Structure 1
Amino acid sequence: MTDEHDAVPPAGAPGSARHVPVLLERCVELLAPALQEPGSVVVDATLGLGGHAEALLAACPQVRLVGLDRDPQALALAQARLAPHADRVDLRRTVFDGIADALDDLGIDRVHGVLFDLGVSSLQLDEVGRGFSYARDAPLDMRMDQAGGVSAADVLATYPAADLARVLREYGEERFARRIADRVVAARSREPLRTTQQLVDLVRDAVPAATRRTGGNPAKRTFQALRVEVNGELDALRAALPAALDALAVGGRLVVMSYQSLEDRIAKQVLAAGAASTTPPELPVELPEHAPRLRLLTRGAETVPAAEAALNPRAASVRLRAAERLREGTVERGVA
């Protein structure tokens, strides 16, 4: 995977020009039927530069939008982009697993749509100093919110080899995790790893030559793993999806776009659990209190059309899943 999923704009372009929302029409198509009544609320849990939010506000004139993002720079750019709809927009600086607290703070009990567009945004990728991209030299940061928390450089400087290998293996699905981890520990004993180019060179030297010849940049899995670790992305998603589903009103809809297999697996498990009956198998009829709480709106995971992938290569890995709330009751978590 690489979840670098927005097209690269010209340097210095404003937010609306530099951001190409993935599967924009499909997201609106899936969410809009639940957002037509006065008082309806939609949560963009990963606001980014506001492309999906802008389209939903335009398509659904009755809807109130709550936008969440941990990145203050993204929030500022999205706020400017959404200014024509300012009377229907509430923005909150938070990780998406703070959705319940954000809604409680706004006095909102139920919402009618939720969108998760996961991964790293074009803003974060295209700002060289953020250190998310293995294609350009920059400080090893990778924090989505640079106001606090450990950076990628901190992880590389402090984690024991076994813990670093676990991160690379679990979050990057890296076959050579231990080899890379051992190289990191050896390298940092001589000098700190501070830049993305240092890490790219180290990974390239650590993996076998045959691996370097195929599959793109050999450092991409290491960068993915470090970013996920630094930002706690998978733990946040495990908490956020059930919280979002619990906030959905009956008839409300949720859309999740993932860009790597670990995210998509979590989304698949949570939605499948909610769409399954919990009636004991020995009973001849389904009991109402055990009926499915969700209806799946997609057949498996949808992918981006070839034409869109050609225009926006960063969207090529997307997997979209969606569901509708059928009845009240806590949705089963479905994630170990």
Structure 2
Amino acid sequence: MDFYHESVLLKETIESLNIKEDGIYLDGTVGGGGHSSEILKKLGQKGLLIGLDQDIAAINKSQETLSQISDNYKLFKTNYENFEEVLDSLNIEKIDGFLLDLGVSSFQFDKGDRGFSYKVDAKLDMRMNQDSSFSAYDIVNGYSKEEISKILWDYADEKWANRIAEFIVNARKTKKITTTFELVEIIKNAIPASARRKKGHPAKKTFQALRIETNNEINILRNTLDRMIDRLRPQGRICVISFHSLEDRIVKDTFRYKFLDCICPKEAPVCVCDKEREINIITRKPITPSEEELKNNNRSHSAKLRVAEKI
């Protein structure tokens, strides 16, 4: 199966990056190269695109796509949290733009053996980086009932989190849960029939939470954004596309903090914190997909783009 991912908010993101012909831009989630292709088309010979992805299938597809446009790009198989090591290896101190598209590619969802989809029977996996030794199997078969319940609630707002966790723990006493369909059946049994008849697949939220936990997505985002802002040149921009309310809140809160020029208590007579404003927030409200995009790309529905510019 080919690697395919329909880039969400493509036009809006490229416009928001405010690309300079001789600039340096880093796409931390290069995927199939959709956004990166459009960045590369706008770069001259002195410009550079750096693409990162922890999925080797994404790197291979991006190489194939970008090589048809120009050669002023470099690809690295690594998680975007390691961007500083990549920039340092290239002797690059500051860059003109960062892009993060936090969505999961259609390829990862649809390819049977990756275990991301509740619609395809496969081994419980969900690793974006297939060199990792930790998978969804380890969560489902190793976490306590309380730990499973917590991630289902925190990462998916799953109303039936506690009950699903209880059913998972009880089921694995008999045998290990090894496949996606085994897990789907347990989830269906845990959720009352009246609730299962409502809109959406009953396993959707559980699978989302397991994927986020497997790949440590929330913690990586939380620990990386401010470091990216630090490596931007003046007037450089950072664009983040999120698909989850918790991701969006992390982006919004990080941007707000970096925008503040004082964090002293309101009752303090004078400022003593030495905090300085580092960015201007370009998107007071997040940019969301147009009606046309929502109609043509079902997976764009929860997408939100936030943009900030380094002072």
TM, length-normalised to structure 2: 0.94
- Equivalent in the alignment of 1:9: none
Displacement, 1:84?
Answer: 3.0
> Are residues 284 and 176 of structure 1, via their aligned partners in 2, closer, same or farther at CA, if it must alter by over 3 Å?
same
SS in 1 for 2:220: helix
- Tell me the alpha carbon deviations over residues 19-60 of structure 1, each in whole angstroms, 9 at most, x when there is no partner: 3211111111011x2x3153x210000011110000011123
**Paired residues of 1:99 and 1:243 also in contact (CA < 8 A):** no
1:56 partner amino acid: I
More relative contact order in 1 or in 2 (CA 8 Å, sep 6+)?
1
Instruction: Please give the residue correspondences for 1:241-280 in structure 2 after superposition, counting only pairs within 5 Å.
Output: 241-278=225-262, 280=264
CA distance in 2, matches of 1:160, 1:316: 33
Counterpart of 2:174 in 1: which secondary structure? coil
Of residues 286, 289, 299 in structure 1, which corresponds to 2:284? 299
Deviation of 1:85 (Å): 4.4
Counterpart for residue 23 of structure 1: 9
Q: How much has 1:285 moved relative to structure 2?
A: 9.3
Give the counterpart of 1:87 among 48, 65, 71.
71
C-alpha distance in 2 between matches for 1:155 and 1:259: 22
Do 1:53 and 1:65's aligned partners in 2 also have CA atoms closer than 8 Å? yes
Residues 96, 236 of structure 2: 8 Å contact kept: yes
Which among 33, 42, 53 is matched to residue 36 of structure 2? 53
Write the mapping of 1:53-202 to structure 2, written as runs, cut at 5 A: 53-61=36-44, 62-85=46-69, 87-202=71-186
The aligned residue for residue 316 of structure 1 is 301
Output the CA distance in 2 between the equivalents of 1:297 and 1:306: 22
Aligned residue identity for 1:20: E
Share of identical aligned residues, percent? 38
Aligned length: 309
Distance 1:279 1:199 in 2: 47
What RMSD, in angstroms, separates the aligned Cα atoms of the two structures? 2.0
The residue that corresponds to 1:3 in the other structure is none
Tell me by how many angstroms 1:303 deviates. Answer: 1.0
Letter in 2 for 1:30: S
Distance between the aligned counterparts of 1:289 and 1:41, measured in 2?
30
Q: Which residue of 235, 238, 252 corresponds with 2:222? A: 238
How far apart are the structure 2 equivalents of 1:279 and 1:264? 22
The one-letter code sitting in structure 2 at the alignment partner of 1:249 is: R
State the 4+ residue runs in structure 1 displaced beyond 3 angstroms: 279-291
Does the 8 Å CA contact 2:164/2:190 hold for their aligned counterparts? Answer: yes
Q: Secondary structure at 1:320's aligned position in 2?
A: strand
Q: CA deviation at 1:277?
A: 2.3
Structure 1 residue matching 2:170: 3-state secondary structure: helix
Cα distance, 1:135 vs structure 2: 1.6
For the residue of structure 2 that corresponds to 1:147, the secondary structure is coil
